[in-house]
Amino acid sequence: MRDAQVVVVGGGPAGSSTAFFLARRGIDVLVVDRATFPRDKTCSEYLSPQASRILAEMDALSAVENAGAAQLNGMRVHAPNGSTIHGEFRGKHGFRGYRDQGLAVRRTILDELLLQRARDAGARVEESTRVTDLVRAPDERVTGIIQMKDGEQRELHSRLVIGADGLRSVVGRRLGLIRAQGWPRRIALVTHYSGVDGTRDFGEMHVEKDGYFGIAPVGNGLVNVALVVPVSRAVDIAPDRTEFLESWIAERPRIAAMFSRAVRVGSVSATGPFASSAKRGWAPGAALVGDAADFFDPFTGEGIYTALRGGEILADYAAEAARSSATDDAPLRAYEKARRAEFSGKWKVERLIGAAVAFPALINRAASVLSRRRDMADLLVGVVGDFVPAREVLRPGYLLPLLFARSARA
């Protein structure tokens, strides 16, 4: 007996998107999450312009906007040498997304809205339910989950289990699919402030020699603040996260000026290390989506879009798998092919950006060029905004000027 055709582990954007599109296809889907919603999540809270298309498809876009989400016109990246990359989503590169603006909104708002849309589509949801392991058949095929709820252990059986449970995915680890990459190993401190000067309708990244600092308004007068540093700084962070973050800000005059009248709202959370990926996005009877399948680095801030889009892609193949025979893995193999076709170009761009951020000489060269070439800056921001194909910035004609240009400043 099955408790559901598909069990989705994780009720964040990846899990809600997957469950919504599965339920809309008539699949009996159950979402389980250890949290009780609404719940906060350590995240940059940014949604690229193309994420609005999926929100609209889920009938969630208006609700997100009405909840006070900030609208972002583009991104600014400040390099160590003082050069600034200014790129806009509505640039003159000839590509257009679903919207000309990105969004930024608290995860306490977004996640609850998306999970409710999955419920509205027909998905069942169990909150406060911790998944501890997978149920397997004698041939090692996944046939369900083992969960703890109210102190009691219980098995749930399904045709397919989907791991949408984030960077530390229990599903992915139990399957032996998760692998940590050796570089770059970074951790993040994230919180919110009010009263930050100079934050309007752009997200900002300040790249320093020892890390980078992200600022983005998230609506209702709040600003998301994220400091990302090498994992080697963990020993310095451990005694007091708040003191480390505030000292880091105070030691940098350009950033400190923006926070001269700011007030921190909420505690400082830590997450990481990053640079985690799955050997593949499936195993017999199971699939991975969102951060559980791949999370390289938070610099480009595309985790939420990748989660939403990944769920949308997976739903077609998961529905087929749920209706097929118990030993038919062809739909999941097809999902892996589709996943790589969709995201492989972006993975390359993310790794190139990760390398540039890690080495000041590289980011200084790139910023010196892009600060003078708005057309190239808009193109890069369009790729980060998910509506310009990654191939546009992977061409030699685009990359060579960035790699071999001289920095305009010392």
Token pair listed for 76: 């600014």
Report pLDDT for 310. 98
Please report where in the chains the tokens 């690229």 appear, as a residue: 48
Contact 15, 162 (CB under 8 A): yes
Q: What string of DSSP letters covers 144-178?
A: EEEEEETTEEEEEEEEEEEE---TT-HHHHHTT-E
List pLDDT tens digits, range 166-222: 999 999 999 999 988 877 889 999 999 999 998 889 999 999 998 999 999 999 999
Residues for the chain: how many in total?
410
Q: How many CB atoms lie within 10 A of CB 336?
A: 17
List pLDDT tens digits, range 373-390: 999 999 999 999 999 999
pLDDT band at 109, cuts 50/70/90?
A: very high
Report pLDDT for 395. 96
CA angle at 226 for the pair 223 and 229, rounded to the nearest 5°: 165
Determine whether domain 4-69+105-181+275-344 maps to CATH 3.40.50.300. Answer: no
State phi, psi for 68 to the nearest 5 degrees: 100, 15
pLDDT band at 409, cuts 50/70/90?
A: very low
Q: What three-state secondary structure class fits 74?
A: strand
Q: What is the dihedral of CA 269, 13, 105, 378, to 10 degrees?
A: 100
Nearest-Å Rg of the Cα atoms of the chain is 21
Contact 18, 8 (CB under 8 A): yes
Q: Which of 47-51, 92-96, 234-238, 329-333 has the lowest mean pLDDT?
A: 92-96
Report pLDDT for 380. 95
Token pair listed for 359: 């080495």
What is the percentage of the chain residues whose pLDDT exceeds 70?
99
Report pLDDT for 410. 38
Report pLDDT for 184. 82
pLDDT band at 404, cuts 50/70/90?
A: confident
Strands 142-149 and 222-230: unpaired
Contacts of 199 (CB under 8 A, 6+ apart): 215, 216, 217, 223, 258
The topology (CATH level 3) of 186-271 is: D-Amino Acid Oxidase; Chain A, domain 2 (3.30.9)
Quote the CA–CA distance of 272 and 298 in Å, as a whole number: 10
Quote the CA–CA distance of 25 and 199 in Å, as a whole number: 42
pLDDT band at 406, cuts 50/70/90?
A: low
- The full set of domain ranges for the chain reads 4-69+105-181+275-344, 186-271
List pLDDT tens digits, range 287-345: 999 999 999 888 887 899 999 999 999 999 999 999 998 788 999 999 999 999 999 99
Q: How many CB atoms lie within 10 A of CB 247?
A: 11
Q: Which of 26-30, 281-285, 326-330 has the lowest mean pLDDT?
A: 326-330
Q: Can you tell me the mean pLDDT for 260-268? A: 96
* Strand segments (E) across 164-221: 178-180, 186-194, 202-208, 211-219
Burial (CB < 10 A; 0-12, 13-18, 19+), residue 308, is: buried
User: How many CA atoms, within 13 angstroms, populate the side-chain half-sphere of residue 240?
Assistant: 6
State phi, psi for 252 to the nearest 5 degrees: -120, 100
Report pLDDT for 405. 62
Q: What string of DSSP letters covers 32-50?
A: E-SS-SS----S--EE-TT
Q: Can you tell me the mean pLDDT for 30-45? A: 95
List pLDDT tens digits, range 121-162: 999 999 999 999 999 999 999 999 999 988 899 999 999 999
- Which of 266, 264, 260, 106 has the alpha carbon at shortest distance from 194? 264
Report pLDDT for 96. 83
